[in-house]
Amino acid sequence: MSIREDIQTVFDKDPAARSTLEVLLCYPGLHAIWAHRIAHALYRRRLYFLARLVSHISRALTGIEIHPGAKIGRRVFIDHGSGVVIGETAEVGDDVLIYMGVVLGGTALERTKRHPTIEDGVIIGSGAIVLGPITVGRGAKIGAGSVVVHPVPPGATVVGVPGRLAGPKCPRGQEKLDRGDLPDPMLRVISRMLDRQNRIEERLRAMERAGLVPGRRQEEIELEERVRAALKEVIDPEVGIDLVDLGLIRGITVRDSSVLVEMVLTTATCPLVDYLTDQVRRRVLEVSGVQNVEVQVLDEPWDWDRFFGERNLFEKT
C-alpha cells in the first residue's frame, strides 16, 4: 500500500479526477482510507481509545465512518463517500468500489463476527445496505438502494429490497456497474408468468378452432381470428412492429357482435396511448360482423425480454 497507488486508484475509478493536487486535497474518500490505516494500526496495538479518536476525527472531517477494527484492502475507493458506514468486523477486499451512503452493518449484539465480508473487485452502489456476517463474492455488483441480507455469489448482480439476484456473471467487457440499466428480477418473473399465460391461451384457441372446447359458437371463434389478423396491421410507430407480434394485445373477447380488446403499453407513460387505442378501435370496427368495440389498457409490465422470448419460441416451433 502506498500513497502513489492510492492516487492512481482514484484516477482509474473516477473520470472526474483532473490532477494529483486535486486528488490529494479534494477527495474525502481517500482521506478516510488514510486515516483508517492509522486508526487500524493503533487498534491492532490495543490502543482502542486513540484508534477511536482518530476514527472520530476522520468522520467529522470526511463524513465517512470506518470503525478502526474493520479490515480494508488495497486500492479500495470510496467515491463521494458522504454517509458511508463500515462496521468493526467488516472485511473489504482489494479493488472494491464503494459509493456514497453505503452501510456495511451488523445484525448482532454479541462480540463476534457480525459484519459483511466484501471480496475483491466488488462494486456497491449508492445507498446500498449490506447486513450481517455474509460474504459478497468476488466481482459481484450491488445496485443502488439495495438491502442485502443473504450471501452473494461471485460475479452476481443484486438489486432490490430485500436484495435479489438479478443476473449471473456479466459478459466480458461489461464488468462495470451501469446503474441506469440494472435488471429487475420481479419484472422478469411477472413477465415469464404472463408469457406462460399467453401460451396457454394460444393452446386454448387452437382447441376451440378444432371444436374441442364446448360453449362457444363457431361464429365467435372465427370472428376472434379475423380481429386478431386485423390487429396485425396496427403498427407501433416507435418500434415498427405490429401490436400482436410485439405482445401488446393481451386478450380478445367476442360476445355476439361486440369485441373487447385488452392491451398493454411498452411503457407506463407511453405518449402514443391515445393513438394506439384509436387505431385498434378503428381497425376492429372494419372487420365484418363487428358492431361494438371496447379497448382496455391494462396496467401490466412489458419489457423487451418478453418480446425476444416470444420470437425465439415461435422460431423454434
**Grid cell listed for 130:** 449490506
Percent of the chain past pLDDT 90, that is, above it, reads 41
Per the prediction, the chain carries an average pLDDT of 82
| Mean pLDDT within 270-295 | 89
Whole-number pLDDT of residue 215: 55
Whole-number pLDDT of residue 162: 83
Fold of 185-316: GMP Synthetase; Chain A, domain 3 (3.30.300)
What confidence category does residue 305 fall into, taking pLDDT thresholds of 50, 70 and 90? low
Identify the residue with better confidence: 44 or 180: 44
Whole-number pLDDT of residue 98: 94
Does the pLDDT of residue 302 top 70, yes or no? no
What confidence category does residue 301 fall into, taking pLDDT thresholds of 50, 70 and 90? low
H/E stretch holding 130? strand 129-131
Does the pLDDT of residue 133 top 70, yes or no? yes
Identify the residue with better confidence: 116 or 209: 116
What confidence category does residue 55 fall into, taking pLDDT thresholds of 50, 70 and 90? very high
| Mean pLDDT within 134-141 | 91
CA distance 280 to 94: 57
CATH 1.10.1040.10 for the 3-167 domain, yes or no = no
Whole-number pLDDT of residue 181: 53
Count the Cβ atoms, other than its own, within 10 Å of residue 258: 12
Task: For 124-159, give one letter per residue: b (16+ CB within 10 A) or e.
Answer: bbbbbbbbbbbebbbbbbbbbbbbbeeebebbbbbb
Percent of the chain past pLDDT 70, that is, above it, reads 79
Does the pLDDT of residue 54 top 60, yes or no? yes
Domain boundaries, the chain: 3-167, 185-316
pLDDT tens string 67-95:
999 999 999 999 988 899 999 999 999 99
- Cα dihedral 113, 87, 26, 141 sign: positive
Instruction: Assess contact for 289 and 273: CB atoms under 8 A.
Output: no
**Grid cell listed for 167:** 443476473
Could you tell me the maximum CA-CA distance found in the chain, to the nearest angstrom?
Answer: 89
Does the pLDDT of residue 281 top 60, yes or no? yes
Question: Which span out of 113-122, 234-243, 248-257, 270-279 was modeled with the highest average pLDDT?
Answer: 113-122
CA distance 194 to 113: 44
- Cα dihedral 4, 5, 8, 13 sign: negative
SS (H, E, C) 249-310: EEEEEEECCEEEEEECCCCCCCCCHHHHHHHHHHHHHCCCCCCEEEEEECCCCCCHHHHHHH
Q: Which amino acid makes up residue 134? A: I
| Mean pLDDT within 195-212 | 69
pLDDT tens string 152-193:
888 888 888 888 877 555 444 444 555 555 555 666 666 667
Q: Which amino acid makes up residue 316? A: K
What confidence category does residue 130 fall into, taking pLDDT thresholds of 50, 70 and 90? very high
